[in-house]
Chain A
Amino acid sequence: EPEVTQTPSHQVTQMGQEVILRCVPISNHLYFYWYRQILGQKVEFLVSFYNNEISEKSEIFDDQFSVERPDGSNFTLKIRSTKLEDSAMYFCASSEETGGDYGYTFGSGTRLTVV
């Protein structure tokens, strides 16, 4: 069964450093998403991406965050200057249709720890 692949599975970084989280969505999917889950809390929407541009973003997704699809297969989330409160599990997802109506396929996540 097709999968969404995320790397790395765990990343530790120092506060103030830049991190890039990588995702390979399912190949025929057109819509891409990032969510995050702070330990013990809800899964929160960050951003959706379609046709090489952001289609929607949450208030969490401020100027320190950016997304990119640098080639035909990867979808990345960059955090420019990490803060302690950015420590969380970050999930990438993709969908063939608008995911809100049909559900997504999620990756297994990247656990980001900011120290």
Chain B
Amino acid sequence: AQSVTQLDSQVPVFEEAPVELRCNYSSSVSVYLFWYVQYPNQGLQLLLKYLSGSTLVKGINGFEAEFNKSQTSFHLRKPSVHISDTAEYFCAVPYSSASKIIFGSGTRLSIRP
């Protein structure tokens, strides 16, 4: 069955520094992968998705992620973070039935001025 593991529960970084949030997946079928963001007291917003094609996927707010099949990873990156990026980030994968998405445990990104 498909699953995702987010290796870091919290990532503190300084403003304007680069950040990488790690996600590893396991899947026995074709892989689709997502990153969602949850800003404080808000719902979940789709940041980006990998369905097929180019392994480098660009999303909203300057984020990008790279699909790496050999390492079974889909890490999220941003070259320079802002205070407004403070949020919880969830990696997600469709479950085998494709009618639902399974979320990772989340990574809380905190930005220090």
Contact = CB atoms under 8 A, between A and B. Distances in A.
Nearest to A50: B99
Given A4-B43, A56-B100, A102-B49, 8 more contacts: A31-B99, A42-B105, A45-B95, A100-B94, A100-B100, A100-B101, A108-B42, A109-B43
Interface string A20-39: 00000000000101000000
Interface of B: 32, 34, 36, 42-46, 49, 51, 90, 94-95, 97-106
A48 B32 CA distance: 19
Contacts of B101: 45, 99-100, 103-104
A73 interface: no
Contacts of A102: 32, 49, 51
Interface in A36-89: 41-45, 48, 50, 55-56, 58
Nearest to A41: B105
Nearest to B101: A100
A59 to B, nearest CB: 13
B43 A42 contact: no
Given A42-B105, A42-B106, A43-B90, A104 B46 contact: yes
6 contacts: A43-B90, A45-B100, A45-B101, A106-B36, A108-B42, A109-B43
A101 B103 contact: no
A100 B43 contact: no
Contacts of B95: 45, 100
